[in-house]
Amino acid sequence: MDHGQKHHRLLGIVGLFKDPYHLLKAAKETQTRNFKHCDAYTPFPIHGLDAILGQKRSALPWVTLVLGLAGCFGGFGLEIFTSAMAWPINVGGKPFNSFPAFVPIGFECTILLGGLATVAAMFMFCRLPNFHAPVLDEKITDNLFALYVPAKEEGFQENDVKALMEKAGAVEVRMIG
């Protein structure tokens, strides 16, 4: 055995496609083989791709809604507390809990908390930062479409997956490892 050679474990296979039609064709084929952990990388969203790959809807909109509402009620609550309870000051004869005057701050708190929560949840849901993810290709999401099949899939056969990608119209098939 040559000790100068590095032996890499195969992490998976990526097929590079020129158009979304061939990517969808390959993705459908992977699902007929019950591959559950495939991933696609595209320069723009492709309708139906997430359903083909079995990806569920994200919880991100719910996080944004809940924490946006919390920001809204928190902003209104803070203003009601400060101007009607803690420091009631009569300004021009208006009531202490003047709702129309509180709208801008309530709106801004909604945007602030909803936006910050969305960014934090996105990082958490996407498990970012990920410093150990392999770079599949520098042109992915620029002008190529890619389908990645990890080697951990049940029933993964290297030659079979390569043939699947080539039959679907991949312009290039690469081993990642």
Using the 3D structure, point to which of 82, 101, 125 is the last residue of a domain. 125
20-32 and 158-168 are packed helices; what angle lies between their axes, rounded to 10 degrees?
A: 140
Q: What is the pLDDT of residue 8?
A: 61
Render pLDDT for 16-57 as a digit per residue (tens, 0 to 9): 999 999 999 999 999 999 999 999 999 999 999 999 999 899
Does 36 lie in the same domain as 66?
no
Q: What is the pLDDT of residue 78?
A: 95
Share of the chain above pLDDT 90, in %: 70
Render pLDDT for 122-160 as a digit per residue (tens, 0 to 9): 999 999 998 887 778 777 878 899 999 999 999 899 999
Domain contains 104: yes
Q: What is the pLDDT of residue 141?
A: 78
pLDDT of 60 strictly over 50: yes
Task: Provide the total of helices (H) and of strands (E) in the chain, helices listed first.
Answer: 5, 4
Q: What is the pLDDT of residue 97?
A: 84
Q: How confident is the model at residue 170 (pLDDT cuts 50, 70, 90)?
A: very high
| Cβ–Cβ under 8 Å, residues 173 and 31 | no
Average pLDDT, the chain: 90
Domain contains 108: yes
Domain span including residue 95: 60-125
Domain contains 89: yes
Q: What is the pLDDT of residue 65?
A: 98
Does 78 lie in the same domain as 35?
no
Q: Which residue has the higher pLDDT, 3 or 62?
A: 62
Does 110 lie in the same domain as 74?
yes
With tokens 């007929």, the residue in question is 32
In whole angstroms, give the CA distance from residue 111 to residue 118. 10
User: What pTM value is reported for the model?
Assistant: 0.73
Which of the residue ranges 9-13, 71-75, 142-146 has the most confident prediction, judged by mean pLDDT?
A: 71-75
Does 152 lie in the same domain as 104?
no
Does 155 lie in the same domain as 120?
no
State the total domains in the chain. 2
Domain contains 52: no
154: CATH: 3.30.70.120
In whole angstroms, give the CA distance from residue 122 to residue 131. 17
Using the 3D structure, point to which of 98, 125, 152 is the last residue of a domain. 125
